[in-house]
């Protein structure tokens, strides 16, 4: 998944709102708007690029897959299962197409 600067600004703002809520802090809506406008002027990106779970999976030796999968966070496991399902569907469709062409 490719993020843009606007996506990162939204992510920062969401994290900021969550941090304020957990600390019982509030600001006027205009302050949030101003902060969002200022952040949009900067190239914001995370310190670490997000992991490409599917590419990692494709390069792991067979005996290491279970321990690798156990090391993933719950969100990463959901992302992996989604990508696995998408690839399974596209693989199944290509098989069906080939069998139709033979007929």
Domain ranges of the chain: 5-39, 53-102
Q: Mean pLDDT, the chain, as a whole number?
A: 82
The residue written with tokens 């993020």 in the block is 3
**Predicted pLDDT of residue 75:** 85
Looking at the predicted structure, is the pLDDT value of residue 95 above 90?
no
Model confidence pLDDT, tens digit, residues 41-89: 988 887 777 778 888 888 988 888 898 999 888 888 998 999 989 888 7
pTM over 0.75: no
What's the CA gap between 41 and 46, in Å, rounded?
A: 16
Tally of residues, the chain: 103
**Predicted pLDDT of residue 1:** 47
Looking at the predicted structure, is the pLDDT value of residue 92 above 90?
no
* H helix runs in the chain, sequence order: 5-22, 29-39, 53-59, 65-71, 74-102
């Amino acid at each position: 998944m490719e993020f843009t600067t606007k996506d990162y600004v939204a992510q920062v703002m969401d994290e900021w709102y969550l941090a304020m809520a957990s600390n019982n802090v509030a600001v006027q809506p205009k302050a949030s708007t101003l902060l969002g406008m200022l952040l949009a002027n900067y190239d914001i990106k995370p310190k670490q690029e997000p992991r490409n779970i599917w590419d990692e999976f494709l390069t792991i030796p067979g005996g290491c897959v279970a321990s690798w999968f156990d090391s993933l966070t719950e969100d990463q496991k959901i992302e992996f299962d989604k990508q696995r399902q998408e690839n399974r569907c596209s693989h199944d469709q290509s098989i069906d197409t080939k069998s139709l062409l033979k007929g």
